[in-house]
Amino acid sequence: MTVVHLFPGQGSHRTGMGRELFARYPHLVRAADGVLGYSVEELCLRAPEERLTDTRYTQCAVYVVDALSYVDRVRTDGVVPDAVAGHSLGEYAALFAAGAFDLVTGLELVAARAALMAGAGPGAMLAVLGLPPERVREVLHRAGAAQLDLANLNSPSQTVVSGPRPDVEAAGPALAAEADAVLPLKVSGAFHSRQMSGAAAGFRDVLAGYHLGRLRIPVIANVTARPYRDGEVAELLVRQLTEPVRWTESMQYLLGLPDPQFAEVGPGQVLTGLLRQIREATAAPVS
């Protein structure tokens, strides 16, 4: 059996997340507050929705809840996973679990990442349901949407498009004509796209000031859909800002391990739903 922990990213946030964890781990919460300069518990439980959905705060809140959820699960079950993966921001919790950095160092990196991404300028993201990514690319090409990138390859039938808001909105009707649905995401930036190039350059400088530890368990990288190799964590975290999250391929890799048993660690069950779609598509016979 292969125990796999999956860590959700920014789309999993909700008011009330982590409620049962903050009182259980006050020393870790105080350490997080010291990094942030505000109460992460207050942010998660009582902050106005517009603050919690601001990526500068969302990323920090989700990382802390993911990390505390991991600590709590291992402490309760006594089982350290054999492999981990995280979706976008969730990759930082996966790296924390694997020993790349402690909770505080990870939060410092996440806070810097969030600030750089928020400062990259306006943009938009659109989830396209019911079309494979190759077909999404074809529709975008036909629509002349050269400024758009595929940001998240979430499942064989769910792809997220990212780019300047006018271009995303212009491409919407062409995508809607063929997809089961197109859903604008509640984000203010074009994450995982070329619009994050400036943020990526700034984040490279941030990472240069940190020493990252050797991974104790395999972490599947968003950029490669394969386990990180020694010495490449910083480089792939920089590339993650401008390249797509290859989630389908990541899960297919993990499904190929001996008897994988998955647990979503953090708020919500978004990744569990995507994994179900990927399992079904992977198991379906090729006609």
CA distances from 234 to 22, 60, 63, 180, 191 (A): 30, 19, 18, 38, 18
Burial class (CB in 10 A: 0-12, 13-18, 19+), 121: middle
Identify the active-site residue in 5, 13, 87, 192. Answer: 192
Active site residue 192: yes
| Tokens linked to 251 | 């899960």
Which residue is it, tokens 């006050």? 26
**Sign, Cα dihedral of 182, 187, 193, 194:** positive
Q: How far is the C-alpha of 77 from the C-alpha of 214, rounded, in Å?
A: 24
Identify the active-site residue in 5, 12, 69, 88. Answer: 88
Active site residue 69: no
Q: Are 193 and 160 in contact (CB under 8 A)?
A: no
- The catalytic residues are 88, 192
